[in-house]
Amino acid sequence: MKTYNLNENFIAKFDNEKAIAAKKINVFYGTHHSIFNADLEFPRFSITALIGSSGSGKSTFLRCLNRMNDTVAKVDGNIMYRDVDINTKGVNVYEVRKHIGMVFQRPNPFAKTIRDNITFALKKHGIKNKNELNQRVESSLKEAALWDEVKDKLDKSALSLSGGQAQRLCIARTIAMKPDILLLDEPASALDPISTSKVEETLKNLKDKYTVIIVTHNMQQASRVSDYTAFFHSGHVLEFDKTANIFTNPKIKATEDYISGNFG
C-alpha cells in the first residue's frame, strides 16, 4: 500500500449558497478513530459524490450529516444546517431526518402497498388529509421517475417491484417528506446497469429542488452524475473540487492515483 501525506489537502471553496457544512468532524468507533478533522461544505442544488477506497470513511462521514451514527459512534465537531449546529444534544434527530433524508444501498421498501410506503411517514407526521396524501404520492413518484410505471398499481405490494423500481420508491418515500438534502449511500450498487442508469437520471433531475450527496465506488457514476467530488483516504478528506477538476486535474497525488486505478 502506498503511503501519502495525510496533512496535504486541497479543499476548494465556492461562492454558491451552502446547504450544509461539516466543520472539524472526528468520528470514533470506541477507540478506533475513523474520521479526522473533516471539513466539507456542500453547495445547494447540486450533486456531490463522496469517493475513496473501501474503509476510507465515506459512509461514516455521510451518516454524520443526519445523525445516523448516534448509537454506534462518537461524533465530534459541528454540522451546520441553516445556522444551527445539528450535531448537538438538544437537537431533535427526527426533525433533522425530515430535512435531511437518507436512501440506503439495498432498496428496503416496507412490506406494504406502494402507496402506503409513501404515506406511512407522512401520516406519522400528522398529515391526514386524503387529497394532500394522494397529491404527495403522485408528486413524489413523479419526481422519482416512477409514476408512469406504478400509477395503475399503487395498492399492490411494493415487494412486487424490481430492484431498480424499489430503489426509486425509496427515493420517492424520502422526498415525500419534502427534505432539503438527500443522502444516498451507494444507491445503485445492488442494481443492474439499466436500473442504475434510471436511478442516475432520477438523481440528475432531483438537483433542481434538492441538494444531493452520494457515496459511490463507481468512478464513472461519480463523473456522470456529480457536480462536485470529495476524495476520502484513510479517514481524511484529501481533496474537494468540481468533479470536472477532480477527474481531469486532481491536485493531490493520492486522488490522481485513485482516479487512475493506480492505488494501493
Ligand X SMILES: Nc1ncnc2c1ncn2[C@@H]1O[C@H](COP(=O)(O)OP(=O)(O)OP(=O)(O)O)[C@@H](O)[C@H]1O
Instruction: Report if residue 84 touches ligand X, rule: CB under 6 A.
Output: no
Residue choice 55, 134, 159, 248 for contact with ligand X (CB under 6 A): 55
Residue choice 34, 87, 221, 229 for contact with ligand X (CB under 6 A): 34
Instruction: Report if residue 31 touches ligand X, rule: CB under 6 A.
Output: no
Sheet architecture: strand order including 18-29 = 32-43, 18-29, 74-81, 84-85
**E strand residue ranges, 30-146:** 32-43, 47-51, 74-81, 84-85, 100-103
Among positions 214-243, residues that touch ligand X (CB under 6 A) are 217
Helix axes 130-143, 163-175, angle to 10 degrees: 130
CA quadruple 184, 185, 191, 196: dihedral sign: positive
**E strand residue ranges, the chain:** 10-11, 18-29, 32-43, 47-51, 74-81, 84-85, 100-103, 181-185, 211-215, 228-233, 236-242
Nearest approach in angstroms of CB 16 to ligand X is 26
Instruction: Report if residue 56 touches ligand X, rule: CB under 6 A.
Output: yes
Q: How far apart are CA 52 and CA 231, in angstroms?
A: 6
Residue 254's φ and ψ, nearest 5 degrees, are -60, -40
Contact 168, 199 (CB under 8 A): yes
Residue choice 13, 32, 89, 130 for contact with ligand X (CB under 6 A): 32
Of 4-12, 48-56, 165-173, 206-214: span binding ligand X (CB under 6 A): 48-56
Instruction: Report if residue 54 touches ligand X, rule: CB under 6 A.
Output: yes
Nearest approach in angstroms of CB 33 to ligand X is 9
C-beta of 56 vs 174, nearer to ligand X: 56
Q: How many CA atoms lie within 13 A of 158 on its CB side?
A: 25
Of 28-36, 130-138, 221-229, 243-251: span binding ligand X (CB under 6 A): 28-36
Strand-pair partners of 32: 29
Nearest approach in angstroms of CB 112 to ligand X is 28
Of 57-65, 79-87, 109-117, 176-184: span binding ligand X (CB under 6 A): 57-65
C-beta of 52 vs 179, nearer to ligand X: 52
Of 55-63, 146-154, 205-213, 222-230: span binding ligand X (CB under 6 A): 55-63
Helix (H) or strand (E) holding 164: helix 163-175
Instruction: Report if residue 173 touches ligand X, rule: CB under 6 A.
Output: no
C-beta of 105 vs 139, nearer to ligand X: 105
Instruction: Report if residue 74 touches ligand X, rule: CB under 6 A.
Output: no
Distances (CA, A) of 45 to 13, 91, 175, 229: 16, 25, 14, 14
Applying CB under 6 A, which residues contact ligand X? 29, 32, 34, 52, 54-60, 72, 217
